[in-house]
Amino acid sequence: MLKTKIQILGLIFATCFYYYGCSCSCGAEQNVIIDDQFIKLPVKIRENADRYLMSRTGSEFFDAFVTFDGSKTTFQEPLYRVEYIWLNSEKPDFTGTIVFFIDTAGTVSNLIEPEGIPLCNYTPEDCLFKISAEEAKQKALDAGIKTAERPLIAKFEWNPSKDRYLWSVVSILYESQGSQGFRGNGQEALIDPGTGDVISIKDWKVN
């Protein structure tokens, strides 16, 4: 039954796409999957979410790199949790997940901080993603991050305290895994992905 429903919905979408293109909403609603069930996402919600996001990323970044992820969008009265992904296919080191909340009236909630939105429209210098993972590791080494025999770990990720994407380069000086779980310590360097500047190097420890 579910398989048949999926096939029918797929056919409807394909027909609508053929006649109206990518902007088609197939009527007044769009299908998303929530709790393994198809529900209807009103077009106003999607349009307002797109508009809100584009006002922050800028239309150029939004059109080139951002994709709505309906499979990760959820709803708990009165808020939709909408999720997008962004990816620069020419620079696969740089990708991120965007999450924010919007109510049934189409208004973005200001009670829950959005995550992962590159604010290219306001601070375009924060969206100059040039430094690769290997370059970020080298910048951390040049800045004196402490290392052991274990290789450095570089992760491009959203930093809530800085409200932007940064390279997190982590060294592990000691680690153990036992009945009490992981223990270890090391250092973390935050690297600007546009300039390669080292923002900070701090110790970390898990007891």
**Which of residues 100, 127, 154 is at a domain's end?**
127
pLDDT digits (tens, 9 = 90+) for 116-130: 999 999 999 999 999
Rounded to an integer, the average pLDDT of 11-39 is 44
Quick one: pLDDT at residue 201? Answer: 98
13 is a domain residue:
no
Whether residues 118 and 33 share a domain: the answer is yes
State yes or no: pLDDT of 178 exceeds 50: yes
2 found inside a domain: no
Same domain, 165 and 202: yes
pLDDT of the residue at 26: 40
**Residue 99 falls within a domain, yes or no?**
yes
- pLDDT at residue 36, as a whole number: 52
Which structural domain range is residue 101 located in? 26-127
Residue 31 confidence (pLDDT) = 55
Is 1 a residue whose pLDDT tops 50?
Answer: no
pTM, rounded to two decimals: 0.79
CA distance 96 to 86: 5
Structure confidence at residue 2 (pLDDT): 33
Which domain-ending residue is among 103, 127, 151?
127
Tell me whether residue 20 is in a domain: no
Q: Are residues 91 and 170 in the same domain?
A: no
Across the range 181-198, mean pLDDT stands at: 96
The number of domains in the chain is 2
Which letter, b or e, does each residue of 129-151 get, where b requires 16 or more Cβ atoms within 10 Å of its Cβ? bebbbebbbbbbeeeebebeeee
DSSP assigned state of 3: H
* Strand ranges in the chain using DSSP code E only, listed in sequence order: 29-34, 37-42, 66-68, 74-76, 79-87, 95-103, 153-159, 164-178, 181-191, 198-206
pLDDT at 129: 96
Domain boundary, last residue among 127, 151, 177: 127
- More confident call, 190 vs 40: 190
Of the candidates 133, 137, 131, 135, the residue with the CA atom closest to the CA atom of residue 192: 131
